[in-house]
Amino acid sequence: MNPSSRLGFEVLTADLGTAARRGRLLTRRGEVETPVFMPVGTAGTVKGILPWMLRDTGARIILGNTYHLYLRPGLEVVEKLGGLHRMMAWDGPILTDSGGYQVFSQAGLRKIAENGVRFRSHIDGSQHELTPEKAIAIQETLGSDIMMVLDECPPAGADPRYVAASVERTTRWAERCLAARTSSAALFGILQGGTVPELRAAHAEVLTRMSFDGFAIGGLSVGEGAEEMVAITRLSAALLPPDRPRYLMGVGRPSDILQAVACGVDMFDCVLPTRGGRMGTLFTSRGELIIKHARYRLDERPPDSGCPCPVCARFSRAYLRHLFLAGEMLGAVLNTLHNLCFFGRLMEEIRASIPAGTFPSLLEERLPLLDRRVPGGE
Amino acid sequence: MNPSSRLGFEVLTADLGTAARRGRLLTRRGEVETPVFMPVGTAGTVKGILPWMLRDTGARIILGNTYHLYLRPGLEVVEKLGGLHRMMAWDGPILTDSGGYQVFSQAGLRKIAENGVRFRSHIDGSQHELTPEKAIAIQETLGSDIMMVLDECPPAGADPRYVAASVERTTRWAERCLAARTSSAALFGILQGGTVPELRAAHAEVLTRMSFDGFAIGGLSVGEGAEEMVAITRLSAALLPPDRPRYLMGVGRPSDILQAVACGVDMFDCVLPTRGGRMGTLFTSRGELIIKHARYRLDERPPDSGCPCPVCARFSRAYLRHLFLAGEMLGAVLNTLHNLCFFGRLMEEIRASIPAGTFPSLLEERLPLLDRRVPGGE
């Protein structure tokens, strides 16, 4: 890692058949092999998972949510406890979002202006303002290793004129975020532009001239269809510099991840493995398994035969179904643990396949099996 | 272990100053050092705890609830999954209750008769009958290593004439349970008699003539005061044969356990460490710590300084408070883990103190510190 750089990134192998690449992030808290999936640790915890078990699921970097942590427990607490890493006992790298996405999706009464966005807390209705400078200051206080700029993420189907104006403001905010940084944390710009190719291209043009350590593709997985998401991801990734990591925010399903890797994306985060675990959805090599289904009542098989995770090694579908129906916490914990292992292993397979030249065939084999319900009898 | 016996028990050392004893249970699934605390695994899970972490909390034997498991997931499921041990991936010994206590405390519309007790499920209102024979058959199907007889447990303050009649029925049920056993599982009789010394003595007289592998003291921790509980425990333990294990059902707080050990009790179970963990109560060497309290908002200290558990080694009171207030599952998991370790370690200290001759001083030192709230500043 270049000592003047806040984040190193090496492309180790590029796939010949697709835009996929096998790389390595060099963060100030250790190396991360890419393509990588980052479990979401919203409020200072990857929900239900003991932090010392996270590495065993394959996780090497996790995500923290600025909006949630800022509101609860609040910066005074995080600072007193020595920062987010020490507070939650995770010593690997942490990427934080800017808080913007949650302000737009969860907070009440938000009001956007040139300076920033005013909003009410979804917890207690208290009023707050998030500006580009404040988004950086909060992330630096949390101790983030990879920070994100404050951006606006318009909903799918927003008026293209609104999206164009929003992109311009996001650019100005990105400049202010870069100027506001005072730490050795890395900072990523976020490419917006909705589903309008011209806006994506124009935004990439100005954004990539700024000295960001990496670039995120934002504004996707917000309600557009899967095909459009892949198309915009492909187009966006190609607009970003090949020597910087590319991060597709909030994506996604295993099938989305495989396709986005083929577009040249290096980093992913999504609540699906954790939220899905709590809701009783298990991700498997044969598709999504809805554990409450009556067909699993007496099913002695593990969720995913051949899966080496500690859940599949010990427990049956019937037991996990029982825990889920009885509302037992352990059900959510075990489902989440399996899901994180599944995502971790999928990324491992992707990483192994690129230098082996087998990524295109992995894509072809796995894709039709992932994005479906597990059929009866399997 | 005598091969003709279903359960071995050795008293290794008897304390000179109290009736405490250091012993060893020899179950068909391994040895258990006594005095022992058994975490409660109500519905096939010690709530929130990964079963492969249970041993590290000090647990060597756990409890399963016949009533809950019979209703959900039901015997067909447990049997299909190879019994309770295999279903929940716990290969140590399991003690099961008879289901009677929950029928009397949780089920709806119960109706007691000589043959058994009819009740409605608290889950779906379905009608069931629990007889002594059925209680044994269910426990054998679960694969219990130590079964309990079906008994009636009258509430504190019940009319002594009712208690007397109930004790007689419990005796007849105990005989039927013994006759119904078809397996190599151990079976404990349960001493009843409420808070009436004469009834306790009379019941012990007939019960101890039957060939039980051990004896439980029932009917306590049901609303009587702490002093009365200790008095009846002392009296009851002295009525039971010294060469068989004594189990005080449903007890209790750390201070209760210490005092009951001094009465000669060998085995305990209680939901306090698990339920307390979910409710935000942490058991510590300085008393009970209510984690939501505002005084812990910025408290960097572990819950119990000097506690070697994985929670105290990593996390602050302020972080655990945050998790609790945010409703994060991990809060309940970590609190429970700490509590189980605390109970496990307390039992370890008790076991070490008896051969060392220091149990009376341990009792004297610890008792005033356990049964209180942690004072401010500690």
Helix (H, G, I), strand (E, B) or coil at B361: helix
| Chain B CB within 8 Å of residue A345 CB | no
Residues 6+ apart with CB under 8 A from A339: A272, A273, A274, A276, A277, A281, A282, A283
For residues B321 and B290, give the distance between their C-alpha atoms in angstroms, rounded to a whole number. Answer: 9
Interface check for B372 against chain A (CB to CB < 8 A): the answer is: no
What end-to-end distance do the CA atoms of chain B give, in Å? Answer: 47
pLDDT at B109: 76
Residues of B in contact with A48 (CB under 8 A): 329-330, 333
Chain A interface includes B51 (CB < 8 A): yes
End-to-end Cα spacing for chain A? 47
Q: Is A77 on the interface with B (CB under 8 A)?
A: yes
**What pLDDT is stored for residue A329 in this prediction?**
98
Candidates B322, B323, B325, B334, partner chain A, best to mutate (most A CBs within 10 A): B322
Measured between CA atoms, how close is B128 to chain A, in angstroms? 19
Contact assignment for A298 to B77 by CB distance below 8 Å: yes
Substitution target in B42, B50, B91, B341 with the highest count of A β-carbons within 10 Å is: B50
Interface contact B207, partner A, CB < 8 A: no
Residue type, B128: H
Of A80, A322, A329, the CB nearest to B318: A80
Taking CB atoms and an 8 Å cutoff, what residues of chain B touch A85? none
- Residue B286 corresponds to which tokens in the numbers above? 């300085």
B45–A297 C-beta distance less than 8 A:
no
Q: Does B297 touch chain A (CB under 8 A)?
A: yes
Peptide bond into A197 cis (omega under 30): no
Q: So what's the pLDDT on residue A314?
A: 98
Does the annotation count A269 as an active-site position?
A: yes
Residues in CB range of B149: below 8 A, 6 or more apart: B98, B132, B135, B170, B173, B174, B177, B178, B187, B188, B189, B190, B212
- Residue A225 has phi, psi (to 5 degrees) of -75, 165
**A45 close to B (CB below 8 A):** yes
Contact B29, B91 (CB under 8 A): yes
pLDDT in tens, chain B (378 residues): 444 569 999 999 999 999 999 999 999 999 999 999 999 999 999 999 999 999 999 999 999 999 999 999 999 999 999 999 999 999 999 999 999 888 888 877 789 999 999 999 999 999 999 999 999 999 999 999 999 999 998 888 889 999 999 999 999 999 999 999 999 999 999 999 999 999 999 999 999 999 999 999 999 988 888 899 999 999 999 999 999 999 999 999 999 999 999 999 999 999 999 999 999 999 999 999 999 999 999 999 999 999 999 999 999 999 999 999 999 999 999 999 999 999 999 999 999 999 999 999 999 999 999 989 999 888
The reply to whether residue A87 touches residue B319, judged by beta carbons under 8 angstroms, is yes
Q: Give A294 to chain B, closest Cα distance, Å.
A: 12
C-alpha distances (whole Å) from B175 to each of B113, B116, B187, B189, B204 are 16, 13, 11, 9, 14
Three-state SS string across chain A, please? CCCCCCCEEEEEEECCCCCCEEEEEEECCEEEEECEEEEECCCCCCCCCCHHHHHHHCCCCEEECHHHHHHCCCHHHHHHCCCHHHHHCCCCCEEECCCHHHHHHCCEEEEECCCCEEEECCCCCCEEEECHHHHHHHHHHHCCCEEECCCCCCCCCCCHHHHHHHHHHHHHHHHHHHHHCCCCCEEEEEECCCCCHHHHHHHHHHHCCCCCCEEEECCCCCCCCHHHHHHHHHHHHHHCCCCCCEEECCCCCHHHHHHHHHCCCCEEEECHHHHHHHHCEEEECCEEEECCCHHHCCCCCCCCCCCCCCCCCCCCHHHHHHHHHCCCHHHHHHHHHHHHHHHHHHHHHHHHHHHHCCHHHHHHHHHHHHCCECCCCC
Q: How many CB pairs under 8 A join A and B?
A: 113
Among chain A residues, the shortest Cα distance to B337 is held by A50
Selected residue of A311, A329, A337 to mutate for chain B interface (largest B Cβ count, 10 A): A329
Rounded CA gap, B288 and B280, in Å?
10
Chain A residues near residue B81 by CB distance under 8 angstroms: 300, 316, 318-319
Cβ B93 vs Cβ B27: under 8 Å: yes
Q: Distance between CA B277 and CA B303 in Å, rounded?
A: 12
> What are the CA-CA distances from residue A217 to residues A42, A101, A189, A192, A195 (Å)?
20, 13, 9, 7, 12
A89 and B315: CB-CB below 8 Å?
Answer: yes
The encoded tokens of residue A237 equal: 């990734």
Q: Would you call A310 and B80 a contact, using CB atoms and an 8 Å cutoff? A: no
Q: Which of A315, A325, A328 sits opposite B89 (nearest CB)?
A: A315
Q: What is the largest CA-CA distance in chain A?
A: 60
Name the closest residue on chain B to residue A337, using Cα atoms: B50
CB of B91 less than 8 A from some CB of A: no
Taking the CA of residue B281 and the nearest CA in chain A, the distance in Å comes to: 18
DSSP 3-state of B261: helix
Interface of A with B in 146-205 (CB under 8 A): none
Q: Does A297 touch chain B (CB under 8 A)?
A: yes
Tell me the pTM.
0.97
How far apart are the CA of A48 and the nearest CA of chain B, in angstroms? Answer: 5
Q: How far is A217 from chain B (nearest CA, A)?
A: 30
Catalytic sites of B, residue numbers: 97, 269
Cβ atoms < 10 Å from Cβ of B297: 17
Test B328 with A49 for CB contact under 8 angstroms: no
Contact residues, B window 219-258, toward A, CB-based 8 Å cutoff: none
Of B50, B77, B300, the CB nearest to A318: B77
Q: Torsions phi, psi of A213, nearest 5? A: -80, -15
Residue from A15, A97, A151, A304 carrying the catalytic annotation: A97
List chain A pLDDT tens, one digit each, 378 residues: 444 569 999 999 999 999 999 999 999 999 999 999 999 999 999 999 999 999 999 999 999 999 999 999 999 999 999 999 999 999 999 999 999 888 888 877 789 999 999 999 999 999 999 999 999 999 999 999 999 999 998 888 889 999 999 999 999 999 999 999 999 999 999 999 999 999 999 999 999 999 999 999 998 988 888 899 999 999 999 999 999 999 999 999 999 999 999 999 999 999 999 999 999 999 999 999 999 999 999 999 999 999 999 999 999 999 999 999 999 999 999 999 999 999 999 999 999 999 999 999 999 999 999 989 999 888
Q: Do A48 and B329 touch (CB under 8 A)?
A: yes
A301 part of contact set with chain B, CB < 8 Å: no
> What is the distance in angstroms between the Cα of B328 and the nearest Cα belonging to chain A?
7
Pairwise CA distance, residues A45 & B314, whole Å: 13
**Domains of chain B by start residue, with CATH:** 8-269 (3.20.20.105), 277-370 (no CATH)
Which of B48, B72, B323 is nearest residue A329 as measured by Cβ atoms?
Answer: B48
